[in-house]
Amino acid sequence: MSQSTPESPASAEPLQPAPGPGTLRAFYQVLVNTAVANVTSSYLWWALTFWAYLETRSVLATAIIGGSYMLLVALLGVVFGAIVDHMKKKAVMVLSSVVTLSTYLLAGALYLSFPESVLVNWGGPWFWVFAGVILIGGVVENMRNIALSTTVTLLVPGDRRDKANGLVGTVHGIAFMVTSVFSGLSVGLLGMGWTVVIAIVATAIALLHLLFVPIPERGVAHVEGEAPKGFGFREVIPAVMIVPGLLALILFSTFNNLVGGVFMALMDPYGLTLFSVEMWGIILGITSFGFIIGGGLVAKFGLGKNPVRTMLLVNIGIALLGMTFAIREVWWLYAVGILVFMCLMPIAEASEQTIVQRVVPYEKQGRVFGFAASVESAAAPVSAFLVGPLAQFWLIPYMDSQAGQDSLGWLLGEGEARGIALAFVGASLVLLVVVLLAFASKPYRELSDAYAAAPPSLHTDADPDAVAAAPGDGEAVDAEPAEDRVTDAVGDAGDHLRSSMR
């Protein structure tokens, strides 16, 4: 994982600065800026989903919107990852923000150009053009998230990256909490037009702030001193295959997303069956404290010696939860289930990111993260596109019929959305079986061994005393003991989180 180029001796200053107080301060600023950007994209994304269902009352329409989002992520993930490896990380984030702002401006122009009665007609083209423009803006935001994952490797000491990933999950939880509440209230009280205006203004503010955020990176890290030559799978597959069990991890996460597509397509329609749109947004905001709780637990305690095992245990919890949280049409049961679900998600995400950051060289991580995003996301639209029509035309009518009540009423009870509950239970049961099989598999043991054998730090060949200062900091990076740097990281991140919540 040496960052020195072939023409540079090992004793020369490494291409990237070793993690220290200066790089940690840069990480906090990147984290806060990403939180602002995620608030904006999530705000408009949730608003679009709420607005589409309320105006069309079609599960199929929301399933297509959700599935299209994941399909675009799948198609563009490898390209995004290659872009991250081709460019400096700040340049990638600026590019992402510029594209997102442009798409939101186009969405605002469309909203002003057509009557809302035309835009809400999901049988016509302009509904899908309007939704598609917003989706593109949200999808491009994933390029920033891939870059953020690589900055954890760049800026955070290797032995505590799991805790840094927990902080990332915590910040995402804060963003989710804010946007889910505001999206429901915004659509219910202001309408979609003012919601788009707010998203445009917030995106512009995030872009302006980003221009003043320093990321101490002296250059673009390339494999063996050469830039990656393409944007396709040829540059990615060797980086994945060289690590035993890594492909199996990605394939498992792909299957997990196949089940997740069922939740993505049906969670909002089920919630909007139980609550008004304003109350549903508030419920999502309250339950999203689970993201903060889960991310905080990782930031405090880490992921243990084997994050691979931790990730599989979390997925067992998700499967058991999915089999129970909609088993009766009771609002508090569904709300508590979502809270626990959101506690578990940042733990699973931090586990996967920590594994890749440890076993994959830094100069290849953008492509590997992008490849994982593409392959894993490809599964969700498949299940979303399938479960939408399946629920709309078969499961919901079947469970509303006397035959459905007689056969499965003992398990699912009575209510308006028992067909959706049946989809949750069936998908979760399949997930549980697959996770148990994964625990007994050879790739699980191979990847666990590869993680244990990998060096914990990106800068295994760098002398921290030789790195005087990170560009843009203007001050020296002290050679602190690793444990002191970790303590500073957790404490300062807590200060940033508290200030961002005020």
CATH code for the domain of 452: 1.20.1250.20
Number of domains in the chain: 1
Residue 236 inside a domain? The answer is no
What is 3-50 written as a DSSP string? ---TTS-TTSPPSSPPPSHHHHHHHHHHHHHHHHHHHHHHHHHHHHHH
CB neighbour burial string for 417-455, b if at least 16 within 10 angstroms, e if fewer? bbbbbbbbbbbbeebbeebeebeeeebbebbbebbeebe
Residue 496 inside a domain? The answer is no
Instruction: Record the pTM.
Output: 0.60
What is the rounded CA–CA span in Å between residue 129 and residue 131?
A: 6
Containing structural domain, residue 280:
21-220+244-477
Q: What is the pLDDT of residue 285?
A: 75
Model pLDDT for residues 10-46, shown as the tens digit of each residue: 333 445 556 666 677 778 888 888 888 888 888 888 8
- The three-state secondary structure class of 223 is strand
What is the rounded CA–CA span in Å between residue 74 and residue 284?
A: 26
What is the rounded CA–CA span in Å between residue 238 and residue 188?
A: 50
Residue 297 inside a domain? The answer is yes
Residue 490 inside a domain? The answer is no
Report the share of the chain in percent with pLDDT over 70.
Answer: 75
Task: Return the closest-CA partner of residue 161 out of 27, 326, 4.
Answer: 27
Q: What is the pLDDT of residue 200?
A: 94
Residue 501 inside a domain? The answer is no
pLDDT at 190 over 80: yes
Residue 492 inside a domain? The answer is no
pLDDT at 89 over 50: yes
What is the rounded CA–CA span in Å between residue 145 and residue 160?
A: 19
Measured from the Cβ of residue 155, the count of other Cβ atoms closer than 10 Å reads: 29
Confidence label for 110 from pLDDT (cuts 50, 70 and 90): very high
Residue 495 inside a domain? The answer is no
Mean pLDDT to the nearest integer, 383-399: 79
Residue 122 inside a domain? The answer is yes
